Structure 1
Amino acid sequence: MAEDDALYALAGEVGRVLKLQGRVLAVAESCTGGWVAQCITDVPGSSAWFDRGFVTYSNQAKCELLGVPGETIQIHGAVSGETVLAMAAGVLDYSAADISVAVSGIAGPTGGTPDKPVGTVWFAWRRRDGVCRVQRRQFGGDRRQVRRQAVEVALQGILDVCRD
């Protein structure tokens, strides 16, 4: 598929930049279910710049594996800026990575609310040196399309944070 080729090319660029900068990446994924890590590990030699991925689909997993405070999820929801920021911080706490990305969203077709409709996805990128970005996006399309768009934004965001 051409769209898969585009993700592969983007992941390759992420690897090129991370390797050039001597940085290592780790990821935390909810709605993307490991797709970001899959794209990254499709790139030959990714073990030089990719440490690990956490697929924390349930709230319990976010808390247990990444140290997200239960109160954060209770107050703001799993799909929120506060939660992805805590996920991205947890990735750095529980890995040797220099850069992290966290993704949590509502891919559909159910689960949306008026405040957080289907297609709502939150992202956070963190560098160990303190640089941090958080972003909310609203995607259209079916479940696969929402997830694919989220993977693309996650990968592009890594490049952007590397260039900050």
Structure 2
Amino acid sequence: MTAAEVLDLARARGVMIATAESCTGGLISGRLTDIAGSSDVVERGFVTYSNAAKIEMLGIRPETLEAHGAVSEEIAAEMAQGALARSQAGLAVSVTGIAGPGGSEHKPEGRVCFGIADAWGVRTETIEFGAIGRAEVRAATVDHALRLLTAALRG
């Protein structure tokens, strides 16, 4: 699914999109806004690389961070819900992960947690891209986020 196709689906549904990004550092909103005219459906993007930014900008609960860590479906859910609540968007996608290099036994390189939120709730999933390299993990994350937006818009 291309960014242009996501934008066309959003236009057809009359839905504004927000992004909440950690490991991609704004690449999802960048991909969407690379396309001229995207401002009619891209409402805003939050780049919340640090935990403090996640708390301040998206309202992530410190107790969720403490219990699950930043790379978790729980945080991805709160990020997506926070982006939705702090924007005029009707659909929000979030990503938080370990792009690499590095990682740990419990949170390996290439693990990315996704959230997608709309008026009907939030859904999450974790994808293990593996230790394929930082740029490749980030690119794969953007592509998967676009697929999630597509699926949500096709509803």
Give the alignment's TM-score, normalised by structure 1.
Answer: 0.92
- Give the aligned partner of residue 154 of structure 1: 145
| Structure 1 consecutive aligned stretches of length 4 or more whose deviation exceeds 4 Å | none
For 1:156 and 1:103, locate their aligned partners in 2 and report how far apart those are by CA, in whole Å. 13
Q: Does 1:134 align with 2:98?
A: no
Gaps of 5+ in 2: none
Sequence identity, in percent?
Answer: 44
Task: Tell me the distance in 2 between the aligned counterparts of 1:161 and 1:41.
Answer: 19
Give the Cα separation in 2 of the matches to 1:90 and 1:131.
12
Partners of 1:54 and 1:148 lie apart in 2 by 18
Structure 2 residue corresponding to 1:119, chosen from 103, 110, 115: 110
Q: Distance in 1 between matches of 2:121 and 2:62?
A: 25
Selected match of 2:9 from 17, 27, 42: 17
Counting only pairs closer than 5 Å after superposition, residues 36-51 of structure 1 correspond to structure 2 as 36-51=28-43
> TM-score normalised to the size of structure 2?
0.97
SS at match of 1:102: strand
**Matching residue of 2:19:** 27
What do the CA deviations read for 1:93-146 (whole angstroms, capped 9, x no partner)? 110000000000000102x1112100000000011x224321100113100000
Assess if the C-alpha contact under 8 Å between 2:81 and 2:122 holds in 1.
Answer: no
Q: Does 1:94 align with 2:86?
A: yes
Contact residue 131 and residue 161 of structure 1 kept, 8 A? no
Match of 1:4 in 2: none
Listed as ranges, the gaps of 5+ residues in structure 1 are 1-8
- Root-mean-square deviation (CA, aligned residues, Å) is 0.9
Asked whether the 8 Å contact 2:19–2:92 carries over to 1, the reply is yes
